[in-house]
């Protein structure tokens, strides 16, 4: 498929460019790879390293006029759509950690404490950032980056370039899968969030029994202290919930790669 020698060097470069499109789009939408702190040059090299053997493993033909024709543009668009769907499915599973951290932060009264998220460049709650960093460590520890590369490679078999498009059912299923991020985020925040709600109920009962008690001066430090202790106790359970959410995202990306 790949021409040899300097005679077909231009055609080979066009093939390499097409092979980079799907992995590059997937890495752009996926966690860790798509972060602003990851150099673009490194992302392109990884996309090329994944795309060349994947494209060489399946037979496909370039359009007669190349990629600058309408047929070529449609082929590139299909590759971009497939790559974004694969990366976005993993990103949905990763976003549950950030949502869980925001829920716990609001329950602790730390919703106002924010910091710049290096992964997105925007401001996010401090606890959401903490769980997001934890999710990044777990994603790398479980080999999620290698699993994503394997999923992209396998997607070329069911969805070869120019011959396989994501159907309307696949796109609808991806949108419906996005709704699971709320359930996963609540599952991550449940061990700490529910206990914090009980602490706030106790603080409310104290405020009713002793009206002279300054609830803001007493309740906020008590809630923050209880939240820190509960975070330390519930860290293993929260880590398991984050890992399960990441695994669901990778599993759904595999379903998309299989053309389901």
Query: What is the structure's pLDDT at 258?
Result: 80
181-196: burial string, b at 16+ Cβ within 10 Å, e else = beebbbbbbbbbbebb
User: Is 245 a member of any domain?
Assistant: yes
Query: What is the structure's pLDDT at 206?
Result: 75
Other C-beta atoms closer than 10 Å to the C-beta of 197 total: 11
Could you list the beta-strand ranges (E) of the chain: 114-116, 123-125
Write out the H or E segment, with its range, that includes residue 156: helix 144-158
Separation between Cα atoms, residue 93 and residue 148, nearest integer Å: 13
User: Is 43 a member of any domain?
Assistant: yes
Query: What is the structure's pLDDT at 215?
Result: 65
User: Is 4 a member of any domain?
Assistant: no
User: Is 114 a member of any domain?
Assistant: yes
Virtual CA dihedral for 182, 187, 192, 196, nearest 10 degrees? Answer: 60
Q: Structurally, how many domains does the chain consist of?
A: 1
Q: Which residues pair with 116 in a beta bridge?
A: 123
Sequence-distant (6+) residues with CB within 8 A of 197 are 107
User: Is 27 a member of any domain?
Assistant: yes
Q: What is the pLDDT of residues 2-61, one digit of tens each?
A: 445 555 676 777 788 888 888 888 888 888 888 777 888 888 888 888 888 887 777 777
**208 token code pair:** 């009713």
Could you list the beta-strand ranges (E) of 22-167: 114-116, 123-125
User: Is 74 a member of any domain?
Assistant: yes
Determine the 3-state secondary structure of 50 from DSSP.
helix
User: Is 68 a member of any domain?
Assistant: yes
Q: What region does 237 belong to: left with phi over 0, alpha with psi -120 to 50, or beta?
A: alpha
Query: What is the structure's pLDDT at 4?
Result: 55
Query: What is the structure's pLDDT at 122?
Result: 59
Q: Which domain holds residue 203?
A: 9-257
* Residues with pLDDT less than 70, the chain: 1-8, 10, 66, 111-124, 164-165, 167, 212-217, 219, 260
User: Is 3 a member of any domain?
Assistant: no
């Amino acid at each position: 498929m790949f021409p040899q020698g300097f005679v077909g060097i231009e055609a080979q470069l066009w093939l390499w460019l097409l092979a980079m499109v799907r992995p590059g789009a997937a890495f752009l939408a996926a966690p860790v790879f798509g972060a602003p702190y990851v150099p673009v040059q490194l992302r392109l090299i990884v996309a090329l390293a994944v795309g060349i053997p994947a494209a060489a493993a399946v037979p496909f033909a370039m359009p007669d006029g190349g990629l600058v024709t309408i047929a070529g543009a449609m082929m590139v668009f299909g590759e971009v759509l497939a790559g974004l769907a694969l990366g976005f499915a993993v990103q949905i599973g990763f976003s549950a950690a950030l949502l869980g951290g925001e829920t716990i932060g609001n329950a602790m009264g730390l919703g106002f404490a924010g910091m710049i998220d290096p992964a997105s460049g925007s401001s996010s709650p401090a606890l959401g950032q903490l769980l997001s960093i934890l999710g990044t460590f777990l994603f790398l520890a479980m080999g999620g980056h290698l699993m994503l590369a394997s999923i992209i490679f396998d997607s070329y078999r069911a969805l070869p370039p120019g011959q396989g498009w994501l159907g309307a059912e696949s796109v609808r299923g991806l949108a419906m899968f996005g709704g699971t991020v709320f359930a996963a985020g609540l599952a991550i925040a449940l061990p700490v969030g529910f206990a914090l709600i009980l602490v706030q109920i106790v603080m409310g009962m104290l405020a009713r029994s002793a009206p002279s008690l300054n609830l803001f001066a007493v309740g906020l430090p008590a809630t923050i202290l209880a939240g820190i202790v509960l975070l330390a106790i519930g860290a293993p359970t929260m880590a398991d919930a984050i890992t399960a959410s990441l695994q669901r995202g990778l599993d759904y990306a595999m379903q998309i790669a299989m053309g389901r």
